[in-house]
Chain A
Amino acid sequence: MGEGSRRRARFADGCYLGGGAALLASAFMRWIARGAGSGLRGHALVDTLVALGKHVPALSVARLTILWYLVPALGAVSWIVYGLLGARSRGARIVALAALLVSVLAAGAFRQLAGTARLGWGPKVALLGGFALCAGAWVPDAWLRARRPAARSSEPASV
């Protein structure tokens, strides 16, 4: 494998790891920039927003809470999968797809609960993380492979 190919592989790995880190980090960021819930996370955040009369169709308080916690959880799982199987493994791709789906759903749900203007960095970083995971997991082979050097002798050594 050539140096260029190795660099591209490392970049793709970095995307995957960075995406996982972004999903994890989103749990410690503000999901609501201002107003009620801005200092809250997790179920307290969901409880507060729902208590103020907002709701998301087909998503109960419990489901919204699970959805919120799935975001950083999938970020952690992506690292585990990377370590065990690699960023371009089937498992890694499944996790990346799930993370993207969950981050899109969560961002959409909170947009419904709080409005776009009040969304904090949390959902935005989560979305970014989901896309980065997918980019790292589905980087095309052709982009990864370096140009092959001149053909070597392929005859097996004989004794």
Chain B
Amino acid sequence: MKNLTTYLWLGIFILILATLLNISLGSVSIPLDEIVKSIFHLEVSKESWQYIILEYRLPKAFTAILVGSGLALSGLLMQTLFRNPLAGPYVLGLSSGASLGVALVIMGSSLFGGIAAGLFLSKWTLVIASSIGSFLVLLAILGASFKIKDTMALLIIGLMFASLTSAVVSVLSYFSPSQQLQQYIFWSFGSLGNLSWAEVGILFLFWLSGIILSIFCIKNLNSLLLGEQYAKSLGTNLKQNRFLVIFATSLLAGSITAFAGPIAFIGLAVPHLVRQIIPSSNHLVLVPAVILGGAILMLICDSIAQIPGSELTLPINAITSIIGAPVVIWLLVRKKKLMF
């Protein structure tokens, strides 16, 4: 146990470092001491610096922490629920639902004539469209989860939803003018940067409810490591647990996708990375570890996306995969086994 507390403190320390690194990078270079001063509302040599830090970089860093930890935790929940190392936060089709919602709004507007064409450019429209999209998929999945006894069947239904919605998106794209198509593609790149403090607050509320629900699932998730029959023999209420886990995942992954767009890879990879470092399968240990790991990895990916020393910013959705995929491949080649 002592060992694990060390890991926890080390994780928190790295998280703080990564946050500082993340805040210190950007198109305008600001000295580190000025950054610390701005955070604590002290006298800063340039007022614009303080504005950049407080209104742009800090909310972005917070978003990165919420997005990374939320997606990583959803990934862990799905991997244990489906007892499948390939599961991630989006296996149930949440991101496809969101994509469809957004695609309908952006590209559908040109197809079905603009009833409120001006409205479609607003960010909130996209947030709402994506929320409705993932919410509808969630409803369908939860409905199915009550009817279906076999958890694997649920996984396949999720995959079917994903192909169904991506097909509809393809059809929409085919008929869309290039401008709308580009707008949709920009959304699908994901973005951490354009949230105000108020929006970060809303995202935080969803994040917090998802985390709290997950904490209540910890004991049952542990029993699920043995498989459903054993879990049942230990007194686990399988259906209730499945409902809670899916609901928590939807809160986390759904709200994150709504605000930051679909972000690949973090949810799948972080649980595996954490399992390589932490010598435990107990979710009491894994849940906080995955939350920390997800936040750290996301901050690092976002720092890289800034391209230090340049004014360019790369799409975050691409960076997470470019950085993360080689790491997982390396781990697999070294360890030769990927376990849930």
Q: Do A and B bind each other?
A: no
A residues bordering B, Cβ < 8 Å? none
